[in-house]
Structure 1
Amino acid sequence: MNSNRFKLAWYALFVVGTMLVVACDSEAATERPPNVVFMFADDLGYGDLGCYGHPYAKTPVLDQLAKEGTRFTQYYVTGVTCNPSRTGIMTGLFPARFPQYAADFGFGDRITITELLKSRGYKTGHFGKWHIGPDNRSGTYGIDVVDAIGKSKSKTSGRDDDVYSAAIDFIRENKDSPFYVNVWGHATHFPVNPAENLAAKFKDVHVSRDDFSSTMQHKFDECVQIGGNLDKSMQRYLADVYQIDANVGRLLSVIDELGLRDETIVVFSSDHGPAPVILGNKGAREFSINMLGYASHFRGGKHEQYEGGTRVPFIIRWPGHVPAGRINDHDVCSFIDWMPTLCSIAGVDEIPTQIDGEDISDIWQGADRSRSKPLFWKSSSIGSTPAVRHGNWKLHLNRRRGQDVELYDLSVDPSESKNVAKDHPEEVARLAKMTQAWMSELPKQYEKADAKSRSRED
């Protein structure tokens, strides 16, 4: 009898334990994945924020966001103009893989991150700059609400006010379900022409060239050469950056108001390096004097595959998961990793078999490791120069007659000022072989829309 009672008691405990395990597994399976707010500036330089070393910028909100999360110093984009950068983010593929220019033709049959997250139950939204295909209607790429808002018309507010206001409305409307939202602003894209009241906030700024790296001096020279005043041009550029910061603050306040801080991944970055002063268009020079975006000590900017064009600010906050107050200056990461990383975090199992990025969710959350895949850049032109970063090495495989191959050790020369190709022929050979193997997978020809119908958002 005692034996039977023992067996019954043991069986009861077994049943209860099994039910608890099943309940826990069920709860884990149905646990709400985190929201994602992705704020993307346009043409903002690596060094344009206070927390990234700008000597004059006022960016208190983004500086605080960096303190509450992790700030990366080796984060890369997938292209050095607007559409290629966005193509890599949306598809997880290097943009040179697309035989048709995605700004003109879209992504074809390639699945996007928004479609994958929508399949996981996310509400998806996109507000602001589009430039990822000819169709910007709601429903495109699995995005529930698309509103390709232009710059705000107000003469006293920032040009991204309307974009952020629409995104805030979307967040309020979808606070009870997981949501993903692109908030893609227009600042600091050409033309930088902020409201006078915003520029007045920087009236006491007087440019001292010694406050900036040697790589910035040519911009100052060009600004002066075409009739610009360095102080006024800098004041206007800083005003455009300031309004980005203020709008980020508005959005983050709503996240807190709704009690969503702990369950929301917040990311702020830029689509590539800063635009040049001289744009090559005489009719545009009225505003080009204000194009004083700063790439810090890096060489180059928009349109160039040097570090100033490919390396961008990247700030991420996710309380309880992403370390607060951390500066990650070791790990090499890229927006080519956006799709696999978010899918891993959100519990999306079915992702494309062909993908160029890798899951770096562990790095976001504090791990320190080397990435396994190289990073490639190349424009959608058969004869264009490819570049690759692998480990500490960066190779520019110049293919035009008379131009040397360029090799830089970024661990000691992040400004790419000393070409060491002749000193390290074995590294040149290794990286060139790797790059040529990648290029063999690319299309043999590319198609763009005719000049009259093509998008001019770059």
Structure 2
Amino acid sequence: MNSLKHACLIHRLGSTVIAFLLLSVNLVADEAESERLPNIVLMFADDLGYGDLGCYGHPYAKTPALDRLAEEGTRFTQFYVTGVTCNPSRTGLMTGLFPARFPRYAADFGFGERVTITELLKNRGYQTGHFGKWHIGPKETDGTYGIDTVRVIGKSRDRSSGRDDDLYAAAIEFMRENADHPFYVNIWGHATHFPVNTADGLVAKFNDVNVDRNDFSPTMQHKFDECVQIGGDVDESMRQYLGDVYQIDLNVGRILDALEDLGIQDNTIVVFSSDHGPAPVVLGKKRAREFSQNMLGYAGIYRGGKHEQYEGGTRIPFIIRWPQNVPAGQVDSTSVCSFIDWLPTLASIAGIDELPKNLDGEDISDIWRGTRRPRATPLFWKTSSAGATPAIRDGKWKLHLPRRRSGSPELYDLSLDPSESNNIADANPEVLKRLTRQLRQWNAGLPANYLKSRKRREDD
């Protein structure tokens, strides 16, 4: 009898030990999962305007997936790009340096010795991928800039599903293959870059659209006039453009669904944005005129667009979702942020301590998480040309130096005049003096000459 009791006691103790060990293993697994570095997905549209999405106020756009992303995350209204054409915008994002600092144009020569965000994350243990448009240097092979998988993918073979369908499909496959460990992926689409020539099925979603010009701000009216001037039909051109935006939204929806299917949506930072403001209607070359009547991208109340350093060219939509970290359903209308901050911010989140020297950006991870604070450093813009005119945003002030020696500086208080319609330089001499000194000091530190290997193309 004693032996039987002894055996039962050993059995009960054994069961307790096993249960304890299983609990410990589960706790360790849960802790490891909670400490796992977040995945990062950056979806970049091309030439998409600040006001081209439903959640950013477009009167006719259909963007349910992006509107949902905004509801589940935070939408920023004062987020900026680092350049007003394709390569400079991407250069600042990848390197954390203002693109005008590079003496050799990065589209032709790459980033030289500068360390990129993808290299930093690769060294931290991330699997890295890039799908779609490239435009950041002559090399497009696996391993460039620490990117494991580089797939420079053009327009989709099946045009009926939208021109970015193939590159989004490739990105989803990459996510599926790497769902078991942290990954970073660039998904850089072609829409809504020139030319907009949308498939009939996508355009049909907007057959009921008839443009009422009063639905748009005064800054948009010249585009309607130019569309008519080159023989376009404003209603049909708007339907074409909206169809192209709609296919972006369909692809964003595919990404969100894939993350949910993989069960990793809660540990993934998802960002959607644009590389700069909307492209202009082209009044010149015959080939350009054929399709440019459909370039009806909308910058909202903001003046200007692509190629211009006014707000319409530099201020873009920026939506970020990161469950339990980024506040859901929020609109941040006070924080001034930029893609110049992309590298230091992601490095902070990923626990990367050693950063490249002399970064222009700052860590805004606290702002992503809901903090409201002033920006620590000004934002600067200048194209890669020795004679180009620079611009600065510092606090509520935006200053553009004159295009010619005989011209006048333009100073705007963006808190009162976000459309930059009322130049108040003469009325604010001290502010003008201070910002001019800052801007000229910054400009003096830039290269005296820039090297480009070939004539710039339309996709710049």
Please tell me the TM-score bracket, short chain as reference: over 0.9
For the pair 1:256 / 2:260, whether they are aligned, the reply is yes
Verify the 8 A CA contact 2:218 2:301 in the aligned structure 1: yes
TM-score (norm 2): 0.92
SS of equivalent to 1:305:
coil
1:358 maps onto 2:401 in alignment: no
Give the C-alpha shift of residue 437 in structure 1: 1.1
Q: Distance in 1 between matches of 2:117 and 2:167?
A: 21
CA-CA distance at 1:281 after TM superposition: 2.6
Matches within 5 A, 1:402-421: 402-421=406-425
Distance 1:357 1:28 in 2: 31
Does the residue aligned with 2:441 lie in a helix, a strand or coil? Answer: helix
Residue of structure 1 in register with 2:8 after alignment: none
What's the C-alpha RMSD, in Å, of the aligned pairs?
1.5
Counterpart Cα distance in 2 of 1:347 and 1:194: 43
Instruction: Find out whether 1:210 has 2:221 as its counterpart.
Output: no
Distance (whole Å) between structure 2 residues aligned to residue 146 and residue 279 of structure 1:
36
Distance 1:417 1:225 in 2: 25
Query: Which of 201, 223, 237 is the matching residue for 1:197?
Result: 201
Q: CA deviation at 1:155?
A: 3.1
Is this contact kept in 1: 2:279–2:306, CA < 8 A?
Answer: yes
In structure 1, C-alpha distance between the alignment counterparts of 2:233 and 2:457, rounded to whole Å: 32
Is the counterpart of residue 383 in structure 1 residue 381 in structure 2? no
Of 96, 103, 107, the residue aligned with 1:103 is 107
CA drift at 1:29? 12
Superposition map of 1:62-73 within 5 A = 62-73=66-77
Q: What SS is found at the alignment partner of 1:228?
A: coil
Deviation at 1:31, TM superposition (A): 2.9
Deviation at 1:444, TM superposition (A): 1.0
- The offset of 1:450, in angstroms, is 2.7
Question: Is 1:431 paired with 2:447?
Answer: no
Q: In structure 2, give the amino acid aligned to 1:404.
A: S
In the TM superposition, what is the alpha-carbon distance from 1:282 to its structure 2 partner? 2.5
The answer (yes or no) to whether the contact 1:77–1:271 under 8 Å persists in 2 is yes
Once the two structures are TM-superposed, the CA of residue 74 in structure 1 deviates from its matched residue by: 0.1
Residue 340 in 1 paired to residue 344 in 2? yes
What TM-score does the superposition give when structure 1 sets the normalisation length? Answer: 0.93
Range with bigger deviation, 442-451 or 375-384: 442-451
Q: Which residue of 2 aligns with 1:17?
A: none
Q: 1:434 & 1:423 partners in 2: Cα distance?
A: 19
Instruction: Confirm or deny: 8 A CA contact 2:282 2:289 kept in the other structure.
Output: yes
Q: After TM superposition, list the pairs within 5 Å mapping 1:322-341 onto structure 2.
A: 322-341=326-345
1:185 equivalent to 2:186? Answer: no
Note if contact 1:130-1:148 (Cα within 8 Å) is conserved in structure 2.
yes
Q: Distance in 2 between matches of 1:32 and 1:123?
A: 13
Q: Deviations over 1:402-431 (max 9, x none)?
A: 211000000000000000000001111100
What is the Cα deviation at residue 455 of structure 1?
5.4
- Shifted more, 128-137 versus 282-291: the winner is 282-291
Aligned residue identity for 1:386:
P
- Asked if 2 retains the 8 angstrom alpha-carbon contact of 1:47 and 1:54, the reply is yes
Residue of structure 2 equivalent to 1:4: none
Q: Distance in 1 between matches of 2:256 and 2:231?
A: 39
1:277-321: CA deviations, max 9, x gaps? 116433211100100000000000000000000000000000000
2:105 and 2:390 map into 1 onto residues whose CA distance is: 17
Amino acid at match of 1:201: K
| Structure 1 residue 375: Cα displacement | 0.1
Following the alignment from structure 2 to structure 1, what is the Cα–Cα distance between the partners of residues 394 and 57? 26
Task: Compute the displacement of 1:456 (Å).
Answer: 4.6
Q: Please tell me whether residue 296 in structure 1 is matched to residue 296 in structure 2.
A: no
Question: What is the DSSP-based 3-state SS (H/G/I as helix, E as strand, rest coil) of the residue aligned with 1:422?
Answer: coil
- Measure, in 2, the Cα distance between the counterparts of 1:455 and 1:140: 23
Gaps in structure 1 of 5+ consecutive residues? 1-19
